[in-house]
Amino acid sequence: MVAPVSFSVLPTRHVAGALVGSMLSKLHWIGLGAGLVFLSTSITYSYFQTGTVRVLALPHLLISLMLILTLISQLAVLPKMAALRASISEMDSVSTNDPLRVQFNTLHEWFTRLEAGILGLGLIVVYLTARRMLCARSTILPSLALECTPMSWCARRKGIR
């Protein structure tokens, strides 16, 4: 939401890109901190529910993958994009065939793919976490009771086979 507004309100795409890049960097650090907290509390919750530490459970692996992709984006892609942006005086004045602009656009595409992947993985983790919470609460809300087996992450509603 911030990126489209920045690019439409600020005087140049160069300034907007610098602002958005800086904000994304800060957002990544927040995401990494929140992801580590979520991963550790999810592992702890899993331990209290099952009595074993399940580090390799699917949600934990997906959260770890999200953290790795965020680190790649933060430490590899964003710095290269910032360096290229700094070496190009004004993005709009450079030909789309210019090698620096082509390299920047390629990195931007990879950045977008990484962010989409992180979002997709996050949605899967939210779904799996919601199912796990419903399973744990099935005694409180019988209408939402799930058949939960210790070895199955894919629980089904009771009565539906």
Q: What is the pLDDT of residue 147?
A: 54
Q: Give the three-class secondary structure for 55.
A: coil
pTM listed for this prediction: 0.81
Give 153's pLDDT tier (boundaries 50, 70, 90). very low
Residues β-bridged to residue 147: 156
pLDDT digits (tens, 9 = 90+) for 12-65: 887 888 888 899 999 999 999 999 999 999 999 889 888 898 899 999 999 999
Q: Among 47-56, 79-88, 130-139, 148-157, which is the least confidently predicted range?
A: 148-157
Q: Are 145 and 135 in contact (CB under 8 A)?
A: no
Q: What is the pLDDT of residue 138?
A: 59
Instruction: Say which amino acid occupies 122.
Output: G
What b/e readout covers 35-46, taking b as 16+ CB neighbours within 10 angstroms? beebbeebbeeb
Backbone torsions φ then ψ of 146, nearest 5 degrees: -115, 150
pLDDT digits (tens, 9 = 90+) for 91-113: 878 888 999 999 999 999 999 99
What number is the average pLDDT over the span 118-139?
A: 86
Mean pLDDT of the chain: 85
Backbone torsions φ then ψ of 100, nearest 5 degrees: -65, -40
What b/e readout covers 51-75, taking b as 16+ CB neighbours within 10 angstroms? eeebeebebbebbbebbebbeebbe
Domain locations along the chain: 2-157
